[in-house]
Amino acid sequence: MPLIADFVDYEPAKVYDQGKTGTCVAHAFFTLLSEHVQQKYKKEVEFDFYKYHAEMEKHRNGKLRVEYLCEKAVSDGFLTKTGELVKIASYRKFGAWRSWDFLCEHIQSPNAGPMLFAVNRYAGHDLSPKDTDIIEMPTEEQFKKKKKSGHMMILRGFDNQAKWLRWQNSWEGGEDLNVKWCPWEVFQKINKYCYYIKNVTISE
């Protein structure tokens, strides 16, 4: 699949602020689910992030949070705030840092599209800077201070010429501050893994 020079999905689902609640996985997952519904069915939906976060923490039994949510989206689905049932047909986990072309082909593919990704966090390194739209490489000193908890966001576009990736965060600051560009070489250093979901359905 030829890569589009500058591919960004300009109609994201609403960005919700998780604050300091530690619910980044739920915020990213259900925002992504909402976005797939919005793109496929031209319908805006909302989920109760905190309800499903609490259920996930109670039942995941040590499983990766995002893995638990993906499995449940396939088997049972999730209800929106207005009672529609949203399910997915399948999902896949992969290490996105290995190939720029592979990652971007999936971002622009109608069968995959925007996806979830997890990053390592380092003390002093800002994933949502207020004074720039570009994420900087952690310094050598920052790389030595990896935090125990990572962070999950949505990967939603790319600039093929600059080799920058476009991501959407759920931290405080408003929509303009929560959508940033990350150079590929930075992404390769901080990314842990990605998940994409396929064939979202919604029913009453």
Residue 22, pLDDT score: 61
- Asked whether residue 90 is assigned to any structural domain, the reply reads yes
Q: How confident is the model at residue 18 (pLDDT cuts 50, 70, 90)?
A: very low
Residue 187, pLDDT score: 95
- Stretch (H or E) spanning 167: strand 164-168
Domain range for residue 74? 22-203
Neighbours of 146 (CB within 10 A): 15
Average pLDDT for 23-48: 88
- Asked whether residue 9 is assigned to any structural domain, the reply reads no
- Asked whether residue 120 is assigned to any structural domain, the reply reads yes
- Asked whether residue 32 is assigned to any structural domain, the reply reads yes
Q: Which residue has the higher pLDDT, 125 or 6?
A: 125
Contact 45, 14 (CB under 8 A): no
Residue 128, pLDDT score: 83
Residue 130, pLDDT score: 82
Average pLDDT for 2-23: 64
- Asked whether residue 15 is assigned to any structural domain, the reply reads no
- Asked whether residue 3 is assigned to any structural domain, the reply reads no
Average pLDDT for 134-138: 95
pTM for the model stands at 0.87
Residue 24, pLDDT score: 85
Q: Which residue has the higher pLDDT, 24 or 189?
A: 189
- Asked whether residue 4 is assigned to any structural domain, the reply reads no
Q: How confident is the model at residue 15 (pLDDT cuts 50, 70, 90)?
A: low
| pLDDT above 60 for 20 | no
The 3-state DSSP class for residue 10 equals coil
Instruction: DSSP for 65-133, please give it.
Output: HHHHHHHHHHHT-EE-TTS-EEEEEEEEEE-GGG-HHHHHHHHH-TTT-SEEEEE--BTT--SS-SS-S
User: Number of folded domains in the chain?
Assistant: 1
Q: How confident is the model at residue 12 (pLDDT cuts 50, 70, 90)?
A: low
| pLDDT above 90 for 175 | no
What's the length of the chain?
A: 204
φ/ψ (deg, to 5) at 100 = -60, -50
Task: Tell which residue, 109, 112, 59, 60, has the closest CA to residue 89.
Answer: 112
| Tens-place pLDDT, residues 155-173 | 889 999 999 999 887 665 5
- Asked whether residue 6 is assigned to any structural domain, the reply reads no
| pLDDT above 50 for 76 | yes
Q: Which residue has the higher pLDDT, 174 or 189?
A: 189
| pLDDT above 70 for 10 | no
Q: For residue 128, give the CATH number of its domain.
A: 3.90.70.10
